[in-house]
Structure 1
Amino acid sequence: MIEVVGLTKKYGSTTAVDDLTFTVRPGIVTGFLGPNGAGKSTTMRMILGLETSSSGRALIDGKPYAALERPLTQVGALLDANWIHPSRSAKAHLKFLAATNNLPTARVATVLDLVGLSSVANKAAGKFSLGMKQRLGLASALLGDPKILLFDEPVNGLDPEGIFWIRNFMKQLASEGRTVLVSSHLLSEMAQTADHLVVIGQGRLIADCSTADFTERSSQSFVRVRSPRLPDLAAALQAAGIASTATGNGPDAALQVTGTPIEQIGDIAGRAGVFLHELSVQGGSLEQAFIELTASSVQYGDASKAAAATSSSGVRS
């Protein structure tokens, strides 16, 4: 488990991370989101002891990173896929890490196979594509078989097949009971990968909740209903105190219902004997929710839109 408590980082008069508190629990993938400059990478570096906090603390299973014995066996991280020496082969790089951390050499072949790099194990890392370097970084993070993993933008440079692979890979790691914290700007991918979200802006916590809850509470979603008996359904909804709006014509005619659970609408239709051709939730994407909630925290953007978003939304958990 990762615990961040009152974490603050200042560079002179600039506050990069501001009294940040959250917990990353095992068994799920936690997405770490925020606009550029929000403080995500700085926070991850402080968790790993690469930056010294101005105040507060970051603990890994109750201890600061510097107090861990054989840290590679407890924490694995991928923060920068380009840090590997370009002349060293993938296998040589991992053997070096294994030797300096007193890990079994046999583990090298295992992690190369896990990330799909066995066929290029003897190729110099400098000749790797960015996607291949990301995979090698993942192999390095997994070398000590740690229970806690931190990944900063791990899908950078990956093709669609690679993105699909890493999505399932992250889920598999979490299903094994590991603690997985993933930072990414690909919101559509995070919507499919992360079970829980920690969202920050300008170094401050904006939301700490499940992905579904973040999307539902932070953006305007509605239920779309189609039926050959729309007027009857509208009347039944009205009798239950639920307003609906008619949209479209002909085959596209539908009712739009806001603020009512989809199950309740289905139950009302059933009691009224109204057959439904469609009953679906529309809108409410993670991307939309993210834009709404972080608009006022974007370093460079449309100030008028930020002000409007600030006045119309707000989730703090």
Structure 2
Amino acid sequence: MIEAAGLTKHYGTTVAVDDLSFTVEAGRVTGFLGPNGAGKSTTMRMILGLDTPNKGRALIDGKPYVELKRPLGTVGALLDAKWVHPNRSARSHLRWLAKSNHISYQRVDEVLEMVGLTAVAHRNAGGFSLGMAQRLGIAGALLGDPSVLLFDEPVNGLDPEGIVWIRQFMHRLAGEGRTVLVSSHLLSEMAQTAQDLIVIGRGKLIAQTSTDQFIKDATEDSVRVRSPHADKLRELLDGSAAVTDDAVDGALVVHGMDPASIGELAAANGVVLHELSPTRGSLEEAFMQLTKESVEYHGA
């Protein structure tokens, strides 16, 4: 479990994190979301003892990171995939980490196999692509078989197969009872990966809830309807207090009425339907809605 209580971090007059409190539960994949400059990376660094908060504290399984005697056995982290000496091989890099925490070299070969780097373990990490570097960083995070894992943008540089692999891998880790916190700007991927969300903006907590509840609270479900009698159907729907919009392909998008009621209304009035499909709000729509006041940089 990860616990943050009143975390606050200033850089001069800039407030990067502002009285931030949350809990990351074990057995779940928790997404850590926020616009650029929201304070996500700073928060992760404070959790790992790399930055010292001005106020508040962060605990990993009940202890500050600095009090962990063999930290890699409790928490694994990937914050920067390129944090590796370029002239070290992947295997040498992991062996150096392993020796620092009294981890066997056998475990090094195990995690290389887990992330698919066994065939290139002898190559210098400086020549790795971003996707390969990400896999090496994940291997380092897994080295001590920790109960808590933090990943910052872990899918950067991964191909589609790699993205599916890391998604399934995170679900498996959480299914083993581990705590998994992952930060990403790829909202479509987070919608498939994260079961819970922590959303921050300008260093403050915006929401902590399940992914489904976050989307439900910030968006409105609708129903997509296609009919050869679209004009008649629109009149019927408008008369029932539903709100209809036009889709680009000529379909109707209906708000405020469920699919069953629309189907019954159409059947009672002899209106043929070619499509009647509920449309759920997306994580992207919910995120944009709830963080619009927290975006630091806007495009023209």
Q: Normalising to structure 1: TM-score of the pair?
A: 0.84
- The one-letter amino acid of 1:157's match is G
Is residue 2:32 matched to residue 1:32?
yes
Taking the aligned partners of 1:135 and 1:141, their CA distance within structure 2 comes to: 10
* Equivalence for 2:260: 266
Matched with 2:62 is: 62
Structure 1 residues 236 and 282, CA gap change in structure 2 (3 angstroms): closer
Q: Deviations over 1:51-102 (max 9, x none)?
A: 1011111111111111122110110000011111111111111111111111
Deviates most, 70-79 or 204-213: 204-213
The amino acid of 1:215's aligned partner reads I
Structure 2 equivalent of residue 142 of structure 1: 142
Structure 1 gap segments, 5+ residues each: 304-317
- Counterpart check, 1:151 vs 2:145: no
Q: Secondary structure in 2 aligned to 1:296? A: coil
Alignment of 1:172-183 (within 5 A): 172-183=172-183
The Cα shift of 1:224 comes to 2.5
Q: Which amino acid aligns with 2:52?
A: T
Distance 1:287 1:271, change over 3 A: closer
Aligned-pair identity (%): 61
- Check whether the contact 1:3–1:60 (CA below 8 A) recurs between aligned residues: yes
1:268 and 1:291 map into 2 onto residues whose CA distance is: 29
Kept in 2: contact 1:243–1:257 (CA 8 A) = no
Partner Cα separation in structure 2 for residue 293 and residue 236 of structure 1: 30
Match of residue 280, structure 1, among 273, 277, 280: 277
TM-aligned CA distance change 1:147 to 1:237, over 3 Å: farther
Judged with a 3 Å threshold, the aligned counterparts in structure 2 of structure 1 residues 220 and 135 are, in CA distance, closer, same or farther, namely same
Matched, 1:243 2:220: no
Partner SS for 1:191: helix
**For 1:196 and 1:53, how far apart are their aligned partners in 2?**
25
User: 1:280 Cα shift?
Assistant: 2.7
Alignment of 1:14-163 (within 5 A): 14-163=14-163
Task: Report what 1:291 is aligned to.
Answer: 288
TM superposition score normalised by structure 2? 0.89
Q: Using a 3 Å threshold, how does the CA distance of structure 1 residues 267 and 220 change in structure 2: closer, same or farther?
A: closer
- Counterparts of 1:247 and 1:20 in 2: how far apart (Å)? 40
CA distance in 1 between partners of 2:244 and 2:39 (Å): 44
Separation in structure 1 between the aligned mates of residue 276 and residue 148 of structure 2, nearest angstrom: 41
| Structure 1 Cα separation of the partners of residues 265 and 186 of structure 2 | 42
Q: CA deviation at 1:225?
A: 3.9
Question: How far apart in 1 are the matches of 2:228 and 2:62?
Answer: 60
Partner secondary structure for residue 181 of structure 1: strand
Larger CA deviation: 163-172 vs 51-60: 163-172
User: Cα–Cα, structure 1 residues 17 and 247, in superposed 2: closer, same or farther, change >3 Å?
Assistant: closer
Distance of aligned partners of 1:252 and 1:116 in 2 relative to their CA distance in 1, 3 Å threshold: same
Letter in 2 for 1:289: A
Cα distance in structure 2, aligned partners of 1:237 and 1:69: 67
1:124-178 CA distance string (max 9 Å, x none): 1011111101100000000000010000111111122221221111111111111
Task: Give the aligned partner of residue 256 of structure 1.
Answer: 254
User: For the structure 1 residues 98 and 229, does the alpha-carbon distance in structure 2 shift closer, same or farther, using more than 3 Å as the test?
Assistant: same
Q: Residues of 1 paired with 2:262 and 2:289: CA distance?
A: 32
Contact preservation (8 Å) 1:237, 1:244: yes
Shift of 1:245: 3.6
**Partners in 2 of 1:280 and 1:58 — Cα distance?**
45
Q: CA deviation at 1:243?
A: 2.5
Deviations 1:185-216 (A, max 9, x none): 11111111111111111100111111111122
Matches of 1:160 and 1:253 in 2, distance apart? 32
**3-state SS, counterpart of residue 156 of structure 1:** coil
What SS class does the counterpart of residue 104 from structure 2 fall into? coil
**What letter matches 1:139 in structure 2?**
A
Stretch of structure 1 that moved more, 203-212 or 282-291: 282-291
Question: 1:311 — aligned with what?
Answer: none
Amino acid at match of 2:291: T
Distance in structure 2 (CA, Å) of the matches to 1:199 and 1:166: 21
Which residue identity is paired with 1:244?
A
Measure the CA separation in 1 of the matches of 2:16 and 2:147: 28
For 1:79 and 1:179, locate their aligned partners in 2 and report how far apart those are by CA, in whole Å.
Answer: 16
